[in-house]
């Protein structure tokens, strides 16, 4: 049976943990409002940029794209080349199943493409460490970006864009796949596995959604406009991805810390009850000993 001192130490340690989890919950709650506002502001721009590229691509013909640097970002490449995975995770833990679900999705994708040569761009310390521990795969970590959350900015998206485009153009990369957590609400996140490059199928889908015709006047020209917009388009999509992941992580951490604080309170109540029962039993035992000793003296 645990002594009163042991129970008191246990209660004190749980109270300390509760203070930490409660503080982390409050910090996440303070940051989530700004992160939510940022993602709500970035989503419309990314969606409209997607539609603009789709409309422009529809206006262009194959002859307009020929001989341009933009063409290779649209063209489907022959199967059998290197695959590129962009994995966006958190830098820290204590956020529930946020990282676990992402790593499970990445593992499923890697198993699906087992036997292929894979290069990886890792955003977030958790994903980078996970990929470094993998054995038995033809996998190379090409670029890592850690320590950016919860202050991810457009400059980080631009770094990712430059890295991914350079990889896609310099190496025989067949396609680029993006895995990240999308912010749905304060209580829910959704794993997204999307193909970032090549753009043809992605843009073609967006183009079909626009049924109304649009007349364009191009200045200085179609090729120049497309070449200028494509890097901005990729940057906007990756910036949205970082903001989605950032908001989803903060929401997951807030919920996890709230649950941990609640569990700590329940544990403290149980330990306090146990301590009171133990103290009452000790007092009763001492009283019985005093009464027994008194009767023995009187007898």
CB atoms within 10 A of CB 266: 11
The number of angstroms, rounded, from the C-alpha of 73 to the middle of its chain's C-alpha atoms is: 26
Residue 211 banded pLDDT, cuts 50, 70, 90: very low
Active site residues: 95
Residue 250 banded pLDDT, cuts 50, 70, 90: very high
Residues 6+ away with beta carbon under 8 Å from 214: 55
pLDDT of residue 67: 61
Three-state SS sequence of the chain: CCCHHHHHHHHHHHHHHHHHHHHHHHHHHHHHHHHHHHHHHHHHHHHHHHHHHHHHHHHCCHHHHCCCCCHHHHCCCCCCCEEEEEEECCCCCCCCCHHHHHHHHHHHHHHHCCCCCEEEEEECHHHHHHHHHCCCCCEEEEEEECCCCCCCCHHHHHHHHHHHHHHHHHCCEEEEEEEEEEECCCCCEEEEEEEEECCHHHHHHHHHHCCCCCCCCCCCCHHHHHHHHHHHHHHHHHHHHHHHHHHHHHHHHHHHHHHHHHHHHHHHHHHHHHHHHHHHHHHHHHHHHHHHHHHHHHC
Assess whether pLDDT exceeds 90 at residue 230: no
Among 218-232, 257-271, 272-286, name the most confident range: 257-271
Residue 239 banded pLDDT, cuts 50, 70, 90: very high
Residue 64 banded pLDDT, cuts 50, 70, 90: low
Comparing 76-85, 171-180, 264-273, the range with the smallest average pLDDT is: 76-85
- Percent of the chain at pLDDT exceeding 90: 40
pLDDT of residue 77: 79
Q: For residue range 18-62, list pLDDT tens digits in order.
A: 999 999 999 998 898 888 888 888 888 888 888 878 777 777 766
First to last CA, the chain: 34
Assess whether pLDDT exceeds 60 at residue 208: no
Name the residue with higher pLDDT: 36 or 205: 36
Mean residue pLDDT across the chain: 85
Assess whether pLDDT exceeds 90 at residue 229: no
What's the pTM value of the predicted model, to 2 decimals? Answer: 0.83
Assess whether pLDDT exceeds 80 at residue 187: yes
Question: What does the pLDDT average to over 198-204?
Answer: 68
Q: Which domains does the chain have, with CATH numbers?
A: 24-206+220-256 (3.40.1380.10)
């Amino acid at each position: 049976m645990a002594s009163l001192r042991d129970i008191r130490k246990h209660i004190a340690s749980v109270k300390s943990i509760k203070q930490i989890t409660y503080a982390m919950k409050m910090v996440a709650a303070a940051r989530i409002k700004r992160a939510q506002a940022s993602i709500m502001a970035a989503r419309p721009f990314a969606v409209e940029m997607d539609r603009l590229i789709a409309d422009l691509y529809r206006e262009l013909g194959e002859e307009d794209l020929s001989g341009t640097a933009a063409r290779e970002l649209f063209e489907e490449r022959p199967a059998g080349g290197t695959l590129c995975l962009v994995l966006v995770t958190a830098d820290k833990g204590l956020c529930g199943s946020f990282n676990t679900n992402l790593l499970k999705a990445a593992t499923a994708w890697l198993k699906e493409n087992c036997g292929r040569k894979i290069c990886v761009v890792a955003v977030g310390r958790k994903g980078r460490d996970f990929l470094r521990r993998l054995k038995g795969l033809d996998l190379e970590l090409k670029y890592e970006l850690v320590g950016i959350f919860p202050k991810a900015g457009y400059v980080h998206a631009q770094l990712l864009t430059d890295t991914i485009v350079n990889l896609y153009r310099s190496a025989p990369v067949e396609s680029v796949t993006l895995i990240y957590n999308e912010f749905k609400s304060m209580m829910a996140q959704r794993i997204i596995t999307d193909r970032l490059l090549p753009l043809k199928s992605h843009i073609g889908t967006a183009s079909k959604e626009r049924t109304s015709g649009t007349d364009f006047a191009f200045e200085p020209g179609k090729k120049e406009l497309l070449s200028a917009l494509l890097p901005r388009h990729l940057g906007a999509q990756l910036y949205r991805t970082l903001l989605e992941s950032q908001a989803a992580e903060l929401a997951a951490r807030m919920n996890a810390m709230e649950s941990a604080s609640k569990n700590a309170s329940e544990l403290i109540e149980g330990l306090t009850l146990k301590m009171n029962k133990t103290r009452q039993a000790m007092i009763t035992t001492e009283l019985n000993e005093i009464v027994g000793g008194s009767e023995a003296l009187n007898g």
